[in-house]
Amino acid sequence: MLIVAVVGPTATGKSDLALDLAEASAASGVPAEIVNSDAFQLYRGMDVGTAKVPVTDRRGIPHHQVDVLDVTEDASVARYQETARRDLDDIAGRGARAVVVGGSGLYVRALLDDMTFPGTDPAVRAALEDRAERLGTRALHDELVERDPAAAESIGPRNTRRIVRALEVIEITGLPYTANLPRQRYVRPAVQIGLDCDRDVLDRRVELRVGAMWAAGLVDEVDRLRSAGLGRTAARAVGYAEVLAHLDGRTTQDEARAAVVANTRRLARKQMGWFGRDPRVRWLDAGSKDLLDQAQAVVAAAEVGDLPDHDGRPVRRSLGS
């Protein structure tokens, strides 16, 4: 059974299209279930700030990989891959179609593509973290430049967590960190439908979404979660980090809201960059009146192997337009 993935930047309507596709599939005789690939929708209680679809609005369609972690836990792509692929197996076993939806690019790739995760070594990681503390992140990044220049270029000199992980993998495996990165090869038959729109339109959508989140009680949600003890991963989420800064007295509420808007726009561009590099994504205009019909046509073509290759290049309406 072909897996359908709906991907792209935040605020483009991915959840709505996924629900529409699942309903249309069921109406045609093939039941469908949704698998979340948004890293922060994994967390229980992170509802408003992640635009999680409420249970009452899920149209009776089963959802997987939603509300499976406590906010005190750190999310793991490797763990997600294991559990979400098990969901795919179970869905296929029920004769249903899996509709994957989310904007966390690494999670989508981990689920759909040929991607392995090296183990961890607490002693190696602790030593690297100690060196980062004593010598600074720049010193570790310089080492990464020597051992894996491609990884160093992609990670950048200020991301301590990813630099430490890259050096840990090199130490454990004896191979460059980039040797373990995903290849663009599906492990199951799949098609990715990307939603895109004009930059100005998307910026306005983001502003409206943040306003709706504020009205729905985002500040109160973050305050409750802070009392429960937000872990490192959850506390870094866009929408949560900025409100935490306000609750800690470092910004005003207006400043926090403006920061959420700005950082969400920045996130959308980052997501577009990630998915835009994948030539397999079939891009549709999020504002099209016949969006569902277009998406269904992409699925139908993929099922019979009749998608054009577009010369191997991503076909999209650029956010820069």
- Model confidence at 310: pLDDT above 80: no
Is residue 29, in this structure, part of any structural domain at all? yes
Q: Is 10 annotated as a binding residue?
A: yes
Q: Is 8 annotated as a binding residue?
A: yes
Asked which of 5-14, 171-180, 254-263 is least confident by mean pLDDT, the reply is 171-180
Is residue 318, in this structure, part of any structural domain at all? no
Q: Is 211 annotated as a binding residue?
A: no
Q: Backbone phi, then psi, for 27, in 5-degree steps?
A: -65, -25
Q: Is 93 annotated as a binding residue?
A: no
Q: Is 233 annotated as a binding residue?
A: no
Cα gap 152→67, rounded to integer Å: 34
Q: Indicate if 102 and 37 belong to the same structural domain.
A: yes
- Structural domain harbouring 156: 122-180
Cα gap 215→283, rounded to integer Å: 32
Residue written as token pair 């937000």: 230
Q: Is 13 annotated as a binding residue?
A: yes
- CB 179 within 8 Å of CB 116: no
The whole-model pTM stands at 0.84
- CB 99 within 8 Å of CB 191: no
- CB 52 within 8 Å of CB 16: no
187: which DSSP letter? S
Q: Which residues contact 149 (CB under 8 A, 6 or more apart)?
A: none
- Model confidence at 45: pLDDT above 90: yes
- Model confidence at 26: pLDDT above 70: yes
Q: Is 264 annotated as a binding residue?
A: no
What pLDDT score was predicted for residue 307?
67
Residue 259 CB neighbour total at 10 angstroms: 19
Cα gap 313→309, rounded to integer Å: 8
CATH number at residue 34: 3.40.50.300
What pLDDT score was predicted for residue 308?
53
Percent of the chain with pLDDT strictly greater than 90: 89
> What tens digit of pLDDT does each residue of 198-245 get?
999 999 999 999 999 999 999 999 999 999 999 989 999 999 999 999
What pLDDT score was predicted for residue 320?
42
Task: Write down which residue in 180, 197, 222 finishes a domain.
Answer: 180
Is residue 320, in this structure, part of any structural domain at all? no
Q: What angle do CA 184, 189, 191 make, to 5 degrees?
A: 70
CATH number at residue 148: 1.10.20.140
- CB 76 within 8 Å of CB 11: no
Cα gap 147→175, rounded to integer Å: 9
